[in-house]
Amino acid sequence: MTANSRCSFAKPPGLETQLREIESLLRQCELRAGDSWYVVERRWYEQWKEFVENGDQNSSSFPGQINNAELFEDLESYHLKERLVENEDFMLVPADAWHKLLGWYGMVDGQPPLERKVVDLPSTLKVEVYPVEIFLCLHSNMENVVSSQFSRADDIQSIQRTICETFSVPQASECRLWMKSSDGSCERLRNVHVSVLDACLSSGMTVIMETRNADGTWPSSRPQIIRNSVEEQDYQGQPGVCGLVNLGNTCFMNSALQCLSNTPPLTEYFLQSSYLEELNFTNPLGMKGEIAEAYADVIKQMWSGRHHSMVPRVFKTKVGHFASQFLGYQQHDSQELLSFLLDGLHEDLNRVKNKEYIELCDANGRPDQQVAEEAWRNHLRRNDSVIVDTFHGLFKSTLVCPECRKISVTFDPFCYLSVPLPASKERVMEIFFVSLDPYAKPAQHRVVVPKAGKVSDLCAALSEMTGVPPSKMVVADVFNHHFYKIYNIDESLSCILDRDDIFVYELNTPKQREEQLQQEERVLLALYLRERSYCRDLSSGSSSYGTTLFGHPLLLSVPISCCSQEALYNLFLQRLARYVRCPDPSEELEEGEEDNDEEQQQQKSQTNGISDGEEQEELELPHPCCADANSLSESTNSAESHLDANHTEPPLDSDVTKNGSQDQTEPLASSSANASITDTSSSVSVTDTSSSTNVSITDTSSCTDDMNTSRNSNASSEPPAEQPQQSCDTTEEEKEDGQEACSPRLPANEQPDKRNTCRRRRKTLFTIQAVNSNGTTERKRGEGGSAVSFSSQPYVAIDWDPDMKKRFYNENEAEKYVKHSSMEVPQQQNTVQLQECIELFTTVETLEEENPWYCPVCKKHQLATKKLDLWSLPEVLIIHLKRFSYTKFTREKLESIVDFPLRNLDFSGCLLRKNLSNGEPPSRYDLIAVSNHYGGLRDGHYTSYARNKDNGQWYDFDDSKVTYAREDEIVTNAAYVLFYQRQDKIRKPTLPAPNASPALATRPTGDATSSKCNTSELEAVPVETD
């Protein structure tokens, strides 16, 4: 190479100077991650070194231009040869040394400089001689693939820029990258600010870029949009007016999302893609940006104006992944989801990458303004995001020690206000009263009791309506045809939920104290009704039977001496007289002993399908004709006297139905699932039943008299009507035996023939069995011939054969009940002003024992008094109405109507900082959204009202259904979470208000009614993968 060719470059210094400068740079330069080093072919470098050490400017050892041709596989692609070794094939020089050599000697035309980055590997710093070679393509055209080399120190954003430049994608396009490995699996490259090394990209992988569609979806996502027809694919509607499909009890999520979607500053932040530059992938408290990205996808689809409704399945999956309480498809609270979502968005978008520790300082007498400013600065040092800018305000918290009177003042940030509702001290309960009169239908009453009262208060309130003393009442919870619980008189009413079926039973107890002393001990007997279902084992030939509970259970107060099988049978017939018909003398119910041996043997050995291993005492009841005539007549007269004096059948037009009609009697509203209920227009006739229900026997006449005496004790002072006596009904052929049969029953060993005659002439309607509290398992009988054991609360069941039940048990009559006049009085809903709730929020309260405050002066935990005051308010104020009340003793939802203004909600009277001269914002707010909850504690449904930011129209969002809403229907007793925006930040609508159209019909105004989440009508939606 001639000297003339060297004249085009800067004239190099002397050879000694060149050597000194390059060697100095090589000695001083250390490897630092991200720095650039250059690859130089070793033979050229060695020739240069020999030239500067031994030669002169005109020496034949002059190296000439830098030439790395020996390092390349070919001179077209300029790919480095594989397995080149440092100091054998090439040399590495720092950037400063490279630029000097290049300036002195130049480079062969066409050869690229081999710049390499220093990468920070897990164990060492190293110059990356071989960069990562990655294939690049677009999702829309994956066949057009180009390759490019990137340093492991390059960030993913540099790959994105390269793809945009290579394929002419506009820089303003919103795009995302996917990493496809050699095995075909794909993974999102979420964080474009991480290096290629940290993203685990290696040579041979493919990076695919996709751009967001015009409708807000991504090409790689499976369909999330419900399109009912081809025409809807070209649908263009109002942006933001988009329903959300209920995935299964996800109405709580849909309601919260609709409210946030109609919060202008937050929605515009995501629509403008401002979140992309603020995603925080390293925050240990965040969700790696995934919640923010999933929420952005929902917002962009809802505001694309291309969809009637969309399926938020990916968002639901992300929420469940980071908050396990929202996994699955159970019902949840919209405010709880809202709290999680705002916190998750804040941490994902937090501009503070490394949070410093800041110790909170007490005011210690300093001015509030100074302490508040310090607290807000400290808050921003750790928390700075669009959520803080939009939703965060400042409290002033004042704690006072009850002993030393130490005052602690701090200022704490808040994201929403949870304001209490004024709670009523009374509670309305609906119960059924079961009178002692067997012919009286159960009556439904509505009583007002103290919320913190006891069962005795319920009995006292009911006593005022019925005239029955509270001492004669027992309260029980009936569930699925059995007693779920029998309450003690001193138990708290908080144990009873509004959904429970509560029955109050009138008991037969002695009237006077003296009589109580004379009376023998009584027992509270629980009575269940069961139906037998027989089955036969074909293999063994044996038979057994199972039982099924039906009807409504009863509670009876019975003397212990009257607990034999015979006495209880007669007592139960009397108690069930309204809907159990005893057989007429003309009906044939006789059965021969020899014909019934098999069934009796079966009942001895089988109980509810399980063999007891013990013989059961056979129930032997005399036919009514076997009873003593005088005893029977006395019992009949007693019963009829009671019916004339105490029992007055209500006229047909006095029975009230649920729909307010007067001419029918209602079935009883409890857990009688298997009862076929039809209304009957006639009441039970006293004359028809009096002769057949008062079946008395000599051995148990005292029990019968006891029941009749109790019934007569409630009679009016009018004398009973005289009734004809009833005698045994016998034929002429049986006159002699009949007379003997009507006499008192003798022991079996004295008159076996006549005893057998009685047995052959009767068949009982049902059998009596001692059972457990659920009515499913039989128990042993008591001692001394008693049908039950008194070691614990006794439960008995009467088992019916299906045929006998069909003939003598009137299911329609058993299910009827009447409504007391108290049920006709409409319940008045309390109305409170929102301002009252806010004032209640700022009142002084004493800390609970579970949350004491540590007093720095007393050096111990104290139940201090606490007062919260509002210091500064955010641009968007969220107010959570605490409708769900949970305490140690009660759980309830407050149905009060909170009257909140749609405009000009003024907080000037609540803010401590009243000086607005320093450019501070005003304190007037307008409503922009409401989350509604319909239903009770266990179930319900969420909807939302929201005002569209573009056209100012209010909409009712009910899952996938969206309708117009009027301003006069926004305030209901279902309002749960309120969204207010400060007036100075509200932008005027840019579009005119729309007119009502068939596609969006306004729902009629009405009271808030309960409805449960229903997902049975959802359309099938394909599962989406991200």
pLDDT in tens, 65-81: 999 989 988 888 788 88
Question: Which letter does DSSP use for residue 66 in this model?
Answer: B
Name 141's Cβ contacts closer than 8 Å, sequence gap at least 6: none
Name 581's Cβ contacts closer than 8 Å, sequence gap at least 6: 689, 692, 808, 809, 810
* Cα separation, 1010 vs 938, whole angstroms: 12
Nearest to 189 by CA among 144, 236, 136, 140: 136
pLDDT-based confidence at 889, cuts 50/70/90? Answer: low
Nearest to 934 by CA among 877, 983, 976: 976
Least confident of 27-36, 684-693, 871-880: 684-693
The confidence score (pLDDT) of residue 185 equals 80
pLDDT-based confidence at 759, cuts 50/70/90? Answer: very low
The confidence score (pLDDT) of residue 793 equals 75
The confidence score (pLDDT) of residue 95 equals 92
pLDDT-based confidence at 789, cuts 50/70/90? Answer: low
pLDDT-based confidence at 188, cuts 50/70/90? Answer: confident
CA-to-CA separations, 482 to 49, 344, 774, 809, in angstroms, rounded: 104, 48, 6, 18
Tell me, yes or no, if the pTM score tops 0.75: no
User: Is 941 labeled as catalytic in the residue annotation?
Assistant: yes
Least confident of 378-387, 583-592, 1017-1026: 1017-1026
The confidence score (pLDDT) of residue 691 equals 34
Average pLDDT rounded to a whole number, residues 458-474: 92
Task: Note the Cα 677 to chain centre separation in Å.
Answer: 34
User: Is 346 labeled as catalytic in the residue annotation?
Assistant: no
The confidence score (pLDDT) of residue 129 equals 87
Comparison of pLDDT for 636 and 442, the residue scoring more = 442
pLDDT-based confidence at 487, cuts 50/70/90? Answer: very high
Least confident of 207-211, 373-377, 672-676: 672-676
Comparison of pLDDT for 583 and 296, the residue scoring more = 296
The confidence score (pLDDT) of residue 138 equals 92
- Roughly what angle, to the nearest 10 degrees, separates helices 264-271 and 290-302? 100
**Cβ neighbours of 385 (radius 10 Å):** 23
Average pLDDT rounded to a whole number, residues 649-673: 41
The confidence score (pLDDT) of residue 540 equals 61
Q: Specify whether the CB–CB gap between 872 and 878 falls below 8 A.
A: no
Q: Specify whether the CB–CB gap between 315 and 295 falls below 8 A.
A: yes
Question: Exposed (0-12), middle (13-18) or buried (19+): which is 986, by Cβ within 10 Å?
Answer: middle
766-771/795-800 β-pairing: antiparallel
Give yes or no for residue 824 having a pLDDT over 70: yes
Give yes or no for residue 605 having a pLDDT over 80: no
Q: In what order do the strands lie in the sheet with 36-41?
A: 90-94, 36-41, 115-120, 125-127
Residue 499's φ and ψ, nearest 5 degrees, are -85, -10
The confidence score (pLDDT) of residue 606 equals 42
As a whole number, the mean pLDDT across the chain is 77
Residue length, the chain? 1026
pLDDT-based confidence at 503, cuts 50/70/90? Answer: very high
* Radius of gyration of the chain, Cα coordinates, nearest whole angstrom: 45
The confidence score (pLDDT) of residue 603 equals 46
Comparison of pLDDT for 916 and 121, the residue scoring more = 121
In sequence order, what are the beta bridge partners of 817? 666
- Of the candidates 259, 308, 941, 1013, the residue annotated as catalytic is 941
The confidence score (pLDDT) of residue 918 equals 55
Give yes or no for residue 546 having a pLDDT over 80: yes
* Cα separation, 142 vs 163, whole angstroms: 13
Give yes or no for residue 676 having a pLDDT over 60: no
Instruction: Calculate what percentage of the chain has a pLDDT beyond 70.
Output: 72
**394-445 confidence digits (pLDDT tens):** 999 999 999 898 889 989 999 999 999 887 778 888 999 999 999 999 999 9
Average pLDDT rounded to a whole number, residues 718-747: 39
Q: Specify whether the CB–CB gap between 676 and 811 falls below 8 A.
A: yes
The confidence score (pLDDT) of residue 871 equals 92
- Of the candidates 175, 242, 251, 758, the residue annotated as catalytic is 251
Q: Specify whether the CB–CB gap between 502 and 475 falls below 8 A.
A: yes
Greatest mean pLDDT among 232-246, 426-440, 734-748: 426-440
* Cα separation, 465 vs 822, whole angstroms: 9
Nearest to 281 by CA among 269, 292, 273, 268: 292
Q: Where are the beta strands (DSSP E) in 417-560?
A: 417-420, 426-434, 443-450, 473-479, 482-486, 502-506, 522-536, 543-559
